[in-house]
A = this chain, B = another copy of it.
Amino acid sequence: MSKGITKRSENYSEWYNEIVKRAELAENSAVRGCMVIKPYGFAIWEKMQRALDDMFKATGHQNAYFPLFVPKSFLEKEEEHAEGFAKECAVVTHYRLKVNPEGPGLIVDPNARLEEELIIRPTSEAVIWNTFKGWVQSWRDLPLLINQWCNIVRWEMRTRIFLRTAEFLWQEGHTAHATEQEAIEETERMLGVYADFAENWMAVPVVQGAKSPNERFAGALETYSIEAMMQDGKALQSGTSHFLGQNFAKAFDVKFTNKEGQLEYAWATSWGVSTRLMGALIMAHSDDNGLVLPPKLAPIQVVIVPIYKTPEDLAAISEKVDPLISELKAKGISVKYDDDDKQRSGWKFAEYELKGVPVRLAIGARDLQNGTVEVARRDTLTKETVALDGIAGHIENLLAEIQANIFRKALKFREEHTFLVDTWDDFKARIEEGGFVMAHWDGTGETEEAIKTETKATIRCIPFNSVEEAGKCIYTGKDSAKRVLFAKAY
């Protein structure tokens, strides 16, 4: 089982693949670019969903469900949007198979061609704004605050499990507002929700900011994102929130009568996070021993492994452990008691380490005598012997401490790998080494492109919190008013 995992320092990409596989999170399916999310990986995703869904509802949003299919003519209505997604559309052209008259198996029935092709949704602005047309008449119908959890297909050429897959799972919020100001506030609010989730649930510190025009969502006036640093110094865009202006309202003719009795187009936002977050979670925290999970998202927060030789030993241990399990569960802590006799305890230790279980308790005959238990932390890989008496409270505090420690560690790593850079040579060297580079930029798409071509670094965002500071563009030497965040990215 526990053959060593490739070290991060040796081959970061291979290390990631091995963690995904060995921790049983997901695997590539037989369908090109599509993944199977395995039960353990899906349990983590379910925890993410539940936390995010609660946050969306707390901010007034309601869930709904819209069709998988986007008629081609709908996609065409918002031109920029259409062009942005055209190259990666899975297209349904027929609705029936039939028995092959000339051999074995089935063939597509040529008589069952659709009059209009249907696109598998690459995102749902078109379908949803077409629906909103029927939902919005008066200012009283606004704001519309809708979210949906669903699957999405974008036919990407190069795929990578969780990070970029042809099919992925996500949520997409779509809102309609009576005023521009309200829509902008919504765009900002939801980016804030994402940042809150990333930092306080995933324990991943993020930089919030605006995308450069080149990197905006197709059809948006403004795209905000949260950017996280992975352990190889690369950025991972972890969530986006778009201010769409009136583009979709105009494309789908969504008008409302305002308080003054005049017809106006509604203002739109959309925002989403996806199973890509699983990639961020894995790459931000895990180590050369396997997955490291923040307790708030761990399907199993505490595992208890009995160390015994005889059935009598096990019975004596179980008698001590049973009330502890009840006590932990009463505190809302998910706990697994692994008394499976098919595996040795050494195998179990390695397995739960690999799977990132935050706290492991081991208890044997000597512990019973002494009234103690061995407590191991996954994040620091440290162990201590603790009195069984009062252990539940100790564990509760420990889980909170692990959650905080994982965040602190990731924040420290990011701080140590974020650099202010003022010359082109330094820039190239820093980008080559990896990390976030805060540098001046002249604000043009041409310069951005040129920098990308030469270094593979892109502007991840124009951070909201960066101070106004006059400077010269790293590449052209032209004037710049503030630094932007450059990095290589996933």
A274 to B: closest C-beta gap in Å: 12
This chain's copy number in the assembly: 2
Asked if A119 is at the interface of the complex by the 8 Å CB criterion, the answer is: yes
Asked if A282 is at the interface of the complex by the 8 Å CB criterion, the answer is: no
Asked if A36 is at the interface of the complex by the 8 Å CB criterion, the answer is: yes
Encode contact with B along A143-155: 1 for CB under 8 Å, 0 otherwise.
Answer: 0001000110101
Beyond A89-B96, A96-B89, is A31–B119 a contact (Cβ under 8 Å)? no
Beyond A64-B36, A66-B36, is A94–B96 a contact (Cβ under 8 Å)? no
Contacts of A27 in B (CB 8 A): 131, 134
Contacts of A29 in B (CB 8 A): 66-67, 127, 131
Contact of B93 with A93 in the complex, beta carbons under 8 Å: yes
Contact of B97 with A86 in the complex, beta carbons under 8 Å: yes
Beyond A42-B62, A93-B94, is A99–B71 a contact (Cβ under 8 Å)? no
Contact of B42 with A63 in the complex, beta carbons under 8 Å: yes
Beyond A46-B63, A127-B29, is A106–B94 a contact (Cβ under 8 Å)? no
Contacts of A146 in B (CB 8 A): 39
| Residues of chain A in range 61-106 having any CB-CB distance to chain B below 8 Å | 62-76, 82-83, 86-99, 104-106
Contact of A31 with B155 in the complex, beta carbons under 8 Å: no
Taken together as a complex, chains A and B put the C-alpha atoms of A118 and B32 apart, in Å, by 10
Taken together as a complex, chains A and B put the C-alpha atoms of A95 and B91 apart, in Å, by 6
A443 to B: closest C-beta gap in Å: 29
A7 to B: closest C-beta gap in Å: 26
Which residue of B has the minimal Cβ distance to A63?
B42
Contact of A64 with B38 in the complex, beta carbons under 8 Å: yes
Asked if A108 is at the interface of the complex by the 8 Å CB criterion, the answer is: yes
Asked if A140 is at the interface of the complex by the 8 Å CB criterion, the answer is: yes
Contact of A91 with B94 in the complex, beta carbons under 8 Å: yes
Contact of A91 with B108 in the complex, beta carbons under 8 Å: yes
Taken together as a complex, chains A and B put the C-alpha atoms of A68 and B97 apart, in Å, by 17
Beyond A39-B146, A62-B43, A106-B75, is A67–B34 a contact (Cβ under 8 Å)? yes
Contact of B117 with A73 in the complex, beta carbons under 8 Å: no
Contacts of A75 in B (CB 8 A): 97, 106
Which residue of B has the minimal Cβ distance to A89?
B97
Nearest first, the 10 A-B pairs at minimum CB distance are A39-B62, A34-B67, A37-B65, A86-B97, A95-B155, A91-B94, A31-B67, A76-B105, A93-B93, A31-B69
Known: A37-B65, A86-B97, A97-B119. 10 other contacts (CB 8 A): A30-B130, A42-B63, A46-B63, A69-B167, A75-B106, A76-B104, A86-B98, A86-B106, A91-B96, A92-B120
A-B contact pairs, 12 of them (CB 8 A): A29-B131, A30-B127, A31-B67, A31-B70, A34-B68, A36-B64, A45-B65, A82-B105, A83-B99, A89-B96, A90-B118, A151-B151
